[in-house]
Amino acid sequence: MDKDTYAVALKNTLIEIRKICPDVSCSFIFTKDGTIIAGDPEANEETMEKTVDSFQSITEKADPIGGLQALLIDGEKGKVHLSRVNDMYLALAASKNADTIFLQAVTRLIVPTVLKLLESITPTPIPIQSAPSKQLVVDTLSGFFAGDSVQIDVETLTQWSEILNRKNIDDVEIEAFGGKTAKCKVKEINDPKLKGKGIIRMPEKIGKALEVKKGELVRVKPTAT
């Protein structure tokens, strides 16, 4: 079965679901890497893309709960359920009073059954490897020679190089408590007194961008290539 036929089969499934449950106002299916596979005729392309972007922003941070299986948003006027179905995700928007049991049946039975049937004759997406991360304490680099790079222990950089099979780790992504993120160049800590203390030394302007101060914790990981 080619990709178009696969998408048509899924689109028809979503249309049938809406016929059975008129409370469902919109539905679509996308892959783990964000590719939208199929949507019902009410699914606006911009809405689907923005939803997938928002969903993926959480997925990237969901390791502490064992990856994201589902996101349920209950609003004043309606609800949106995004649920993992096999290797894909199903998004359903429904009215406030939509039958939750029916929605669960759709998520857990109908769509998985259709996907299983289709996947038995088409390949599934390849999972993406995530980079390791570390919690480090912020130390401020100030002065004329502060530069634009952050500094962390060479042991950490070596460990990441080995895990990711990369010669060097040149850039890192930093996430702060408040959700701010920054990507910047990284070097090893050059002050021997500060080595092995689990700190990240960062220029003041990076600290300001992340809204963090000396002594606060941040999460650091190598940027994806």
Partner 1 sequence: MPAKTKPKKEIENVQENLKNIKNIEGIIGYLLRGPNSASIDLKDPTKIIDYAVLSASAFEAGNDISKEFDIGEVDTIVLEGEDTKVLSMTLIDHRLSIFMEKKVDHNKLCKDLDLT
Q: Which residues form the interface with partner 1 (CB under 8 A)?
A: 25-26, 47, 50-51, 54-55, 57-58, 61-80, 93, 96, 135, 175-179, 217-219
What minimum distance in Å lies between the beta carbon of 221 and partner 1?
11
What minimum distance in Å lies between the beta carbon of 112 and partner 1?
16
Q: Determine contact, residues 176/214, Cβ cutoff 8 Å.
A: no
Q: Determine contact, residues 24/87, Cβ cutoff 8 Å.
A: no
Task: Choose among 190, 198, 184: nearest CA to 134.
Answer: 198
Distance CA 75, CA 138 (A): 38
Q: Would you say 47 or 86 has its CB closer to partner 1?
A: 47
Q: Would you say 18 or 79 has its CB closer to partner 1?
A: 79
Q: Determine contact, residues 136/218, Cβ cutoff 8 Å.
A: yes
**Please, which residues bridge with residue 92 across strands?**
27, 81
Q: Would you say 54 or 168 has its CB closer to partner 1?
A: 54
What minimum distance in Å lies between the beta carbon of 124 and partner 1?
19
Q: Would you say 56 or 149 has its CB closer to partner 1?
A: 56
What minimum distance in Å lies between the beta carbon of 18 and partner 1?
15
Q: Would you say 12 or 135 has its CB closer to partner 1?
A: 135
What minimum distance in Å lies between the beta carbon of 26 and partner 1?
7
Q: Please provide the DSSP assignment of 126-192 as one string.
A: PPPPPPP-EEEEEEEE-STT--S-EEE-HHHHHHHHHHHT-S---EEEEEETTS-EEEEEEEE---G
